[in-house]
């Protein structure tokens, strides 16, 4: 009978000096530098024919970015130029650190909504959150912790996205009809709208509804089956810019007699933002607020804002990677740097924008250099077009935001979850409802906790099949473990086997338990202790335990803990042969069953 090799007693660990030397060599490799600064990889290979494609894509994205940045600045409770500040710095910084050519970094509706409750107190809060979130994301990226994103499932992301889009769209329903709203939350927004219908401004409502219909129809123009498809595609992509141009022109023409039928954006500070340190203190209503007091106020958002930012950019990068492997940690480094650098120019938190990334991809961008064109366009708008921005109707911006949010409400994913695995609707529902009726921060947290609970439950109760089979005229208990064992599941395996054997006593004479180990690729100290304890419990029940075809490393954990158990591990034998050898040995030791005499 083959015994386990003595090598299982020796766990081969690398020498400390080898580890340190290997780490130093890795840091000094040119590949490590180019990994952290991807521009060093793609810029030397840049081709002249890429320039036109990048310019067209960057210009098209810029036409989408400018109106959305202004709109999201308003959503955040800030002056519109803050959204533009965020856009231009995000575009330029991502060129250096970003690894995905399609991704466009700027403020988003979700980020705007998450900082709104702090920005209305003072813009300094939004800038400080941008800096702190950037530092956290950057550190996580440098520590290669992008793997943590894998613990957040698609149902949680879907629930969060749909709830956030619903909340943001609901918050703009009042602006669409020219009604003043005191809140950006889901229920208060609709309550205010329904109770103030009499305050609807006719011209705002007409322009807003018509603009929304125009945007939704223009989104379908790209699918026109006849004519020049490229023309229809770019006409569809420019829908936001066309809406802003028309609304601004109309507001300007109708205001020449001194009256203004629409609520307009108002003055936007012209010129580039000052380059200065982020605000580590502020003054609110004439009272000094220290850095610690600001942190206390921000609270849970220090965790939720980085988390949501990371989720968005990693999800977007994966969606547009085109078969390439996305380095989540490097995307976190890029996003962290965008936020850190942005905080020096009065930026609010930024992340990847799905809408603008889709526009970038559809426009045929070839390298991240397209972001330089977008950033330059935003800078030109800040320098020369701020007087024009004065006449942008708020109802037009509201329509742009609502149209963007409608595209994020992917109801088809709910039906897909229902068809594939109904249990996934639980984290989706918990996340969505919590985001809608409590807050986005706690909603994503509840979703993550639900995901982790799933993982812990499966870890504590692995899939174990126990059957009683008749082999060579003897009843044998076969235990088939369908996943790896760890400390959480150790007691569960022992309890299930002992319970099964106890239930068999008096019915079938089970004297042998065999645990299959093909799928047990690793165990820990707790599992090893429970295997030893299980053998002792089975001895009391006059049963023998064998472990068949276990991984050598897993068997070694048990044998190093208790060397005399080496013989319970069986290799190069069939189960039938193990049963035959066991009962032959028992017979040779006498008619009475003796466990110790066999092992």
Q: What is the pLDDT of residue 591?
A: 47
- Do residues 251 and 262 make contact, with C-beta atoms less than 8 angstroms apart? yes
Q: Which DSSP category does 466 fall into?
A: E
Structure tokens at 566: 């080496």
Residues facing 548 on adjacent strands: 516, 570
Phi-psi region of 410 (alpha: psi -120 to 50; beta: other; left: phi over 0): beta
* C-alpha to C-alpha distance for 244 and 64, rounded to whole angstroms: 10
- Do residues 315 and 325 make contact, with C-beta atoms less than 8 angstroms apart? no
Q: Is 269 exposed, middle or buried (0-12, 13-18, 19+ CB in 10 A)?
A: middle
* C-alpha to C-alpha distance for 11 and 29, rounded to whole angstroms: 30
Residue 376 vs residue 489, higher pLDDT: 376
Give the tens place of pLDDT for each residue, 59-114.
Answer: 878 877 887 888 888 888 888 888 888 888 888 999 999 888 888 888 887 888 88
On the question of pLDDT at 138 being above 90, the answer is: yes
Domain boundaries in the chain? Answer: 48-411, 461-598
- Do residues 190 and 173 make contact, with C-beta atoms less than 8 angstroms apart? yes
* C-alpha to C-alpha distance for 516 and 549, rounded to whole angstroms: 7
Q: Which DSSP category does 198 fall into?
A: G
On the question of pLDDT at 492 being above 60, the answer is: yes
Q: Which DSSP category does 8 fall into?
A: G
Give the tens place of pLDDT for each residue, 313-364.
Answer: 877 787 677 667 778 888 899 999 999 999 999 999 999 887 778 777 777 7
* CATH superfamily for domain 461-598: STAS domain (3.30.750.24)
pTM (predicted TM-score): 0.70
On the question of pLDDT at 178 being above 60, the answer is: yes
On the question of pLDDT at 390 being above 60, the answer is: yes
* C-alpha to C-alpha distance for 38 and 178, rounded to whole angstroms: 46
- Do residues 375 and 88 make contact, with C-beta atoms less than 8 angstroms apart? yes
Distances (CA, A) of 596 to 532, 536, 538, 543, 589: 14, 11, 12, 11, 10
């Amino acid at each position: 009978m083959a015994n386990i090799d003595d090598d299982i007693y020796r766990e081969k660990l690398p020498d400390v000096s080898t580890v340190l030397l290997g780490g130093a060599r890795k840091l000094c490799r040119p590949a490590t530098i180019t990994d952290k600064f991807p521009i060093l990889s793609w810029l030397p290979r840049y081709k002249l024919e890429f320039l036109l494609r990048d310019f067209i894509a960057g210009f098209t994205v810029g036409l989408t970015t400018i109106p959305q940045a202004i709109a999201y600045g308003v959503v955040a409770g800030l002056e519109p130029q803050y959204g533009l500040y965020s856009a231009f710095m995000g575009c330029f910084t991502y060129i250096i650190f970003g690894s995905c050519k399609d991704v466009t970094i700027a403020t988003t509706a979700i980020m705007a909504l998450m900082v709104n409750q702090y920005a209305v107190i003072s813009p300094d809060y939004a800038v400080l959150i941008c800096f702190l979130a950037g530092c956290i994301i950057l550190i996580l990226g440098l520590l290669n912790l992008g793997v943590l994103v894998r613990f957040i499932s698609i149902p949680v992301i879907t629930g969060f996205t749909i709830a956030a889009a619903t909340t943001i769209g609901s918050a703009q329903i009042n602006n669409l009809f020219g009604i003043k709203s005191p809140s950006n939350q889901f229920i208060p927004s609709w309550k205010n709208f329904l109770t103030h219908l009499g305050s609807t401004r006719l011209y705002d409502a007409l322009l807003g509804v018509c603009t929304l219909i125009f945007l939704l129809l223009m989104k379908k123009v790209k699918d026109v089956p006849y004519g020049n498809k490229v023309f229809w595609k770019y006409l569809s992509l420019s829908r936001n810019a066309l809406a802003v141009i028309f609304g601004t022109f109309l507001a300007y023409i109708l205001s020449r007699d001194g009256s203004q039928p629409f609520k307009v954006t108002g003055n936007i500070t012209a010129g580039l933002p000052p380059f200065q340190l982020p605000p580590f203190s502020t003054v609110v209503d004439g009272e000094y607020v220290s850095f610690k007091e600001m942190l206390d106020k921000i609270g849970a958002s220090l965790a939720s804002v980085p988390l949501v930012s990371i989720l968005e950019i990693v999800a977007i990068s994966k969606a547009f990677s085109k078969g390439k492997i996305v380095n989540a940690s490097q995307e976190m480094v890029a996003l962290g740097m965008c936020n850190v650098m942005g905080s020096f120019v009065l930026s609010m938190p930024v992340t990847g924008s799905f809408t603008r990334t889709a526009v970038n991809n559809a426009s045929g961008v070839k390298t991240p250099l397209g972001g330089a064109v977008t950033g330059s366009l935003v800078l030109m708008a800040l320098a020369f077009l701020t007087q024009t921005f004065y006449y942008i109707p708020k109802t037009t911006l509201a329509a742009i935001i609502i149209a963007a949010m409608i595209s994020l409400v992917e109801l088809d994913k709910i039906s897909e979850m229902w068809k594939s695995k109904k249990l996934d609707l639980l984290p989706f529902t918990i996340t969505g409802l919590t985001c809608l009726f409590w807050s986005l921060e706690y909603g994503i947290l509840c979703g993550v906790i639900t995901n982790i609970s799933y993982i812990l439950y499966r870890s504590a109760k692995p899939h174990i099949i126990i059957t009683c089979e008749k082999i060579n005229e003897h009843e044998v208990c076969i235990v088939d473990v369908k996943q790896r064992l760890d400390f959480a599941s150790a007691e569960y395996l022992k309890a299930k086997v002992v319970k099964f054997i106890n239930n068999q006593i008096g019915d079938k004479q089970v004297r042998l338990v065999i645990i299959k180990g093909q799928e047990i690729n690793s165990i820990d100290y707790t599992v090893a202790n429970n295997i030893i304890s299980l053998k002792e419990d089975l001895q009391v029940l006059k049963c023998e335990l064998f472990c068949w075809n276990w991984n050598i490393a897993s068997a070694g954990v048990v044998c190093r803990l208790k060397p005399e158990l080496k013989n319970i591990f069986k290799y190069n034998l069939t189960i039938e042969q193990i049963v035959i050898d066991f009962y032959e040995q028992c017979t040779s030791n006498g008619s009475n069953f003796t466990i110790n005499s066999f092992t």
